[in-house]
Amino acid sequence: MAPTVPLVKDLAQSPDLKSIPSQFTFINDSKGSDSDSLPIVDFSMLVSDNADQRSKSLLDLGKACEDWGFFVLINHGIPETLMKAIIDASLEFFDLPEDEKRRYEAKSASDPIKSGSGTANAANHKILLWRDFMKSYVHPSFYCPEKPVHLRDIVSEYSEKSRCVLRKLLQGISENLELEPGSMDEALNLDSCFQLYAANFYPPCPQPDLAIGIPPHTDHGLLTFLIHNGVAGLQIQHNGQWFHTNSPKNSILVNTADHLEIFSNGRYKSVKHRAVVNTEATRISVVLANGPAPDVIVSPSPELVKRDGRALYGPMKYIEYVETMLSNRYDGKGNLECLKIQDNHE
């Protein structure tokens, strides 16, 4: 069995911790820039009967996906109380006794519930991450840790409400790509869309510039939704530079992911992002990764391939993509790179 990785919550609580153990050292420029122009998409306008409002928000959505691969979603209609409840219940998971948290340490990539801390490969050696996590598959089949007991209903409700928002966003994206209405739904079987719930716990860190919560990566799936407890830490890459993502209360941070890049035949790029840590406050993020149905073999949209003259990505079954990514998540070359098809005529 692989040696167990220490949980950072316990480490961070050790009295007099002034520096991080050397295995956490990640050479890093965790500084990011502020941007006053992060894209905002107003969901209430996207679903509005007013044609002018709807086309304005479709334009915002299209520009956000194209320029940033990221946007702040406001007025999405998911109740504030539910968002708070899922943050609080997720936090409670990390307060459980260690053996309860370690109960879901993954034995195999296909375990539907996984928990622990984690490693990444940096400059060819393994480093530990300043983050504990818990992940579970929540759709089309629903799994959730047994404790805390109320987590189950809250996660189930949040994922259901998020799916409605997701489907409307993807409808808007299909329109922006000038696809037949329903062609994304059909090709990716979105009634059975895969959703993975992940809670990330980042305790205060005495040397945040030397550690990393999650190193730079892209996500599997179509769109990732992220909410947090008000402590910032997500940075996204834009034009080669890192930007902080500060978000208004109750908004959802949304990023484009690998399978939107594949399906759009490269029109919308999967955005690189990372989680940085700080000295002051515990941060928790609740992430919902939303993808095609698990058994769909995802390829670029045939309509877009026809327009472009060739497919830029090879096919791969979605759940296989997810599980190879979950087993070697931050190591080496990403899956997406492996699926890119070179053009020998260039």
- Interface with ligand OGA (CB under 6 A): 198, 200, 214, 219, 226, 233-234, 273, 275, 285, 287
The item of Ni ion, ligand OGA, none sharing an interface with residue 275, based on CB under 5 to 8 Å by kind, is ligand OGA
Task: Decide if residue 258 touches Ni ion (CB under 5 A).
Answer: no
Task: List the alpha helices (DSSP H) in the chain.
Answer: 8-13, 43-46, 51-63, 80-94, 98-102, 151-176, 183-188, 258-263, 302-308, 318-327, 335-339
How many residues sit close enough to Ni ion to count as binding (CB under 5 A)?
Answer: 1
The item of Ni ion, ligand OGA, none sharing an interface with residue 179, based on CB under 5 to 8 Å by kind, is none
Q: Which is nearer to ligand OGA, 119 or 183 (CB)?
A: 119
Q: Which is nearer to ligand OGA, 8 or 214 (CB)?
A: 214
CB of 1 to Ni ion, least distance (A): 27
Sign of the four-CA dihedral 237, 25, 114, 315: positive
Question: How many CB atoms lie under 10 A from the CB of residue 224?
Answer: 26
User: CA torsion 168→154→114→206, rounded to 10°?
Assistant: 100
Question: How many CB atoms lie under 10 A from the CB of residue 98?
Answer: 11
DSSP per-residue codes, 30-69: ---B--S---EEEHHHHT-S-HHHHHHHHHHHHHIIIIIS
Q: Which residue is nearest to Ni ion (CB)?
A: 219
The item of Ni ion, ligand OGA, none sharing an interface with residue 234, based on CB under 5 to 8 Å by kind, is ligand OGA
Nearest-CA neighbor of 312 among 335, 336, 291, 285?
A: 336
Q: Which is nearer to ligand OGA, 193 or 288 (CB)?
A: 288
CB of 230 to ligand OGA, least distance (A): 13
CB of 289 to ligand OGA, least distance (A): 7
Strands (E), 193-239: 194-202, 214-217, 223-228, 234-238
Q: Which is nearer to Ni ion, 152 or 259 (CB)?
A: 259
Neighbouring-strand partners of residue 105: 115
The item of ligand OGA, Ni ion, none sharing an interface with residue 286, based on CB under 5 to 8 Å by kind, is none
CA 271/CA 17 separation, integer angstroms: 34
Residues constituting the chain: 346
Where does this chain touch Ni ion (CB under 5 A) — which range of 56-64, 214-222, 229-237, 299-307?
A: 214-222
Task: Decide if residue 219 touches Ni ion (CB under 5 A).
Answer: yes
The item of Ni ion, ligand OGA, none sharing an interface with residue 233, based on CB under 5 to 8 Å by kind, is ligand OGA
The residues binding Ni ion (CB under 5 A) are 219
